[in-house]
Amino acid sequence: MSRRHRNRRRPGLVARRTLQLGVWFTLCGASPLHGQLNTSDYYVYVAAESEDEVAIIRYGPQGATLVDNVAVGLFPTEIDGAHGIAVTPDGTRWVVSIAHGLPYGQVQVYEANTNRKVGAVDAGLFPATMQATEGDLLFVANFNLHGDPVPSTISVIDLGSLVEIAQITTCAMPHGSRLNASATRHYSACMMDEQIVEIDARTLLVNRRLFVRPGHETALPEDLTDAVASEGPSPDGSRCGPTWAQVSPDEKRLYVACNKNREVLEIDLDRWAVTRRFPTGAGPYNLEVSPDGRLLVVTFKGEQATGIFDLQSGDLRATVENTRRLPHGVVISPDSRFAFVSVEGVGGEPGTVDVIDLVKAARVASVELGKQAGGIGFWKQEAAGSI
Whether the upstream peptide bond of residue 249 has omega within 30° of 0, thus cis, is: no
Of 160-189, which residues contact other proteins (CB under 8 A)? 160-161, 163-166, 179, 182-184
Nearer residue to other proteins within complex by CB, 12 or 348: 348
DSSP assignment letter at 30: G
The residue among 379, 383, 381 whose CA lies nearest residue 115 is 379
Residue 237's CB: how many other CB atoms inside 10 A?
7
Min dist CB 99 to other proteins, Å, is 9
Nearer residue to other proteins within complex by CB, 104 or 272: 104
Residue 167's CB: how many other CB atoms inside 10 A?
17
Nearer residue to other proteins within complex by CB, 50 or 366: 50
**Three-point CA angle 51, 340, 287, nearest 5°:** 95
Residue 182's CB: how many other CB atoms inside 10 A?
11
Can residue 347 be called a binding residue for other proteins (CB under 8 A)?
yes
Min dist CB 289 to other proteins, Å, is 18
* Pairwise CA distance, residues 24 & 385, whole Å: 31
Min dist CB 135 to other proteins, Å, is 4
Stretch touching other proteins by CB under 8 A, among 24-32, 188-196, 197-205, 221-229: 197-205
Binding mask 276-315 for other proteins (x = CB under 8 A): ----------------------------------------
Min dist CB 325 to other proteins, Å, is 7
The only residue of 22, 36, 61, 78 in contact with other proteins, by rule CB under 8 A = 78
The residue among 380, 383, 289, 363 whose CA lies nearest residue 56 is 380
Yes or no: say if 233 and 243 are a contact pair by the CB < 8 Å rule.
Answer: no
Nearer residue to other proteins within complex by CB, 159 or 287: 159
Sign, Cα dihedral of 213, 372, 145, 210: negative
Can residue 194 be called a binding residue for other proteins (CB under 8 A)?
no
Residues 6 or more apart whose Cβ sits within 8 Å of residue 38: 60, 61, 337, 338, 384
Can residue 372 be called a binding residue for other proteins (CB under 8 A)?
yes
* Pairwise CA distance, residues 16 & 5, whole Å: 18
Of 198-237, which residues contact other proteins (CB under 8 A)? 201-205
Stretch touching other proteins by CB under 8 A, among 15-23, 241-249, 264-272, 339-347: 339-347
Residues touching other proteins: how many (CB under 8 A)? 55
The only residue of 16, 33, 66, 104 in contact with other proteins, by rule CB under 8 A = 104
Yes or no: say if 27 and 310 are a contact pair by the CB < 8 Å rule.
Answer: yes
Which residues contact other proteins by CB under 8 A? Answer: 49-53, 71-79, 100-104, 126, 133-137, 145-148, 158-161, 163-166, 179, 182-184, 201-205, 325-326, 344-348, 371-372
